[in-house]
Amino acid sequence: MTTIWYLLIGLLLIVMALAGTFVKRLPLNTATLYLFIGYLLGPSGADLIKLDPIKESALLEVITEAVVLISLFSAGLKLRLSPRDKRWGIPIRLATTSMVLTVGLMTLVGLFVLGFSLGEAVLLAAILAPTDPVLASDVQVETPGDTDRLRLGLTGEAGLNDGTAFPFVMLGLGLLGLHRIGELGWRWLAVDVLWSVTVGIGIGWLLGALVGNVVLYLRRVHKEAVGLDEFIALGLMALAYGTALLMQSYGFLAVFFAGLAVRRIEYQSSHGRKLENFLLLRNTTQEEAIVTHPEKAPAYMAGAVLAFNEQLERISEVGVVLLIGGMLSMGYISFQAVLVVPLLFLIVRPVSVYLGLANSSVSVMHRNLIGWFGIRGVGSLYYLMYAIQHGVPNEFIDTMVSLVVTVIAVSIVMHGISATPLMQLYRHLQARRKT
């Protein structure tokens, strides 16, 4: 069986590499293809994927956790904005106001449409609330120099709301008696919201700035610590995440802000000028001069770390989406999702976006596209596994797993098919406005 897996994975990766340009011309994304292949490899097809999401929830929690961390760090590195930039208003509103509205509205769906208890409804709402940083690459920032308002908003939202959803997951667990929230929720508000969010952001920013500046100091002054930028990426992600968890805060926020801090160093060093791609000079005689150059070293470091992270992100996407397809093939398809999917994507998401961006300068076109591209994916799968590991009642587990897996799968297909034509139309309309 192991031999067959080596052959299948090797063949899949090579075929996708060779057909990558062709796939980009299709009205779907690679995640949709991976999902379909995963389904065919599951029990309904070749019967090669037999990973039960309930029995193997501990393993899946670790896998999805790592994938989300890689994507969050990449998202932070891509956002080349000053902290005082007004464009931060869109993702912050989406990750706070719209997030709260999404959880509230989906809780009502859980209570009155699905017949869940309050704790079950809040937990399901929190799991489905965050948008995904892993599967939304087609609609997010393409390069660090990308200043498009739509892509900046969606990238920033996905980076922030995987952390801002965590308090509501803890609230749902608390209402089910699986987590201490205190009388009238005082402990939840003080610890799970205020402390964990604030400390997570602070730790990520401080460690990102510290590690980035130490590396650059050694390179600029002593011509040391040159190379192995991959170790910097992995080390900083692990350090920020581990420190945040040690301090009882949210590691997702810490990793995202660590990426932002590294990009901030580059942005300050270049004074916001257009970014040059020094990575084109890798393995040339000019590379070492650029790596240790006082002004160019930050751009090289940030670019090298991001390039490595993006490769990890693409590879991890393959594995996780194959597993989701395999789960569908195992029978984890929920007919209740027929009610949940249209309510979430056609009512709850657009309403929460419109209300969250009320009284802002965001155009109707941008609001409509942001409202549509509320992609659910690996983040929701992680929260699902996290909840199972924290003792969700057995009678609720099957229902929750089938609902969440089905919603994720529908989102992958629905948003994957629509991303290419809608983004092409959006670029066309933007180009017409500029002429």
CATH number of domain containing 104: 1.20.1530.20
In tens, the pLDDT along 372-417 reads 999 999 999 999 999 999 999 988 999 999 999 999 999 999 999 9
Q: Write the DSSP assignment of 15-48 as a string of letters.
A: HHHHTHHHHHTSSS-HHHHHHHHHHHHSTTTT--
Is 291 a residue whose pLDDT tops 60?
yes
Is 279 a residue whose pLDDT tops 70?
no
State which residues form the domain around 311. 54-434
The tally of domains found in the chain comes to 1
Residue 333's pLDDT band (cuts 50, 70, 90): confident
Task: Specify the DSSP element, H or E, that contains 306.
Answer: helix 297-329
The pLDDT score that the predictor gives to residue 281 is 53
The pLDDT score that the predictor gives to residue 429 is 87
Q: Write the DSSP assignment of 244-286 as a string of letters.
A: HHHTTS-HHHHHHHHHHHHHHHHHHHTTTPPPP-GGGGTTSTT
- Tell me, yes or no, whether 48 lies in a domain: no
The pLDDT score that the predictor gives to residue 48 is 84
The pLDDT score that the predictor gives to residue 166 is 96
- Tell me, yes or no, whether 17 lies in a domain: no
| Whole-number average pLDDT of the chain | 90
- Tell me, yes or no, whether 388 lies in a domain: yes
- Tell me, yes or no, whether 140 lies in a domain: yes
Structure tokens at 279: 């990575």
In tens, the pLDDT along 58-110 reads 999 999 999 999 999 999 999 998 888 899 999 999 999 999 999 999 999 99
The pLDDT score that the predictor gives to residue 283 is 56
Task: Specify the DSSP element, H or E, that contains 338.
Answer: helix 337-342
- Tell me, yes or no, whether 29 lies in a domain: no
Structure tokens at 168: 């509501």
- Tell me, yes or no, whether 364 lies in a domain: yes
Q: Whole-model pTM?
A: 0.94
Q: What would the 3-class secondary structure string for 118-174 be?
A: HHHHHHHHHHHCCCCCCCCHHHCCCCCCCCCHHHHHHHHHHHHHHHHCHHHHHHHHH
The pLDDT score that the predictor gives to residue 188 is 97
How many Å is the Cα radius of gyration of the chain? 21
DSSP 8-state code for residue 1: -
Query: Count of residues for the chain?
Result: 435
- Tell me, yes or no, whether 332 lies in a domain: yes
SS3 400: helix
> CA 201 to CA 255: how far, in whole Å?
9
Least confident range from 72-81, 117-126, 176-185, 285-294: namely 285-294
- Tell me, yes or no, whether 239 lies in a domain: yes
Q: Are 380 and 408 in contact (CB under 8 A)?
A: yes
In tens, the pLDDT along 175-188 reads 999 999 999 999 99
Q: Are 161 and 133 in contact (CB under 8 A)?
A: no
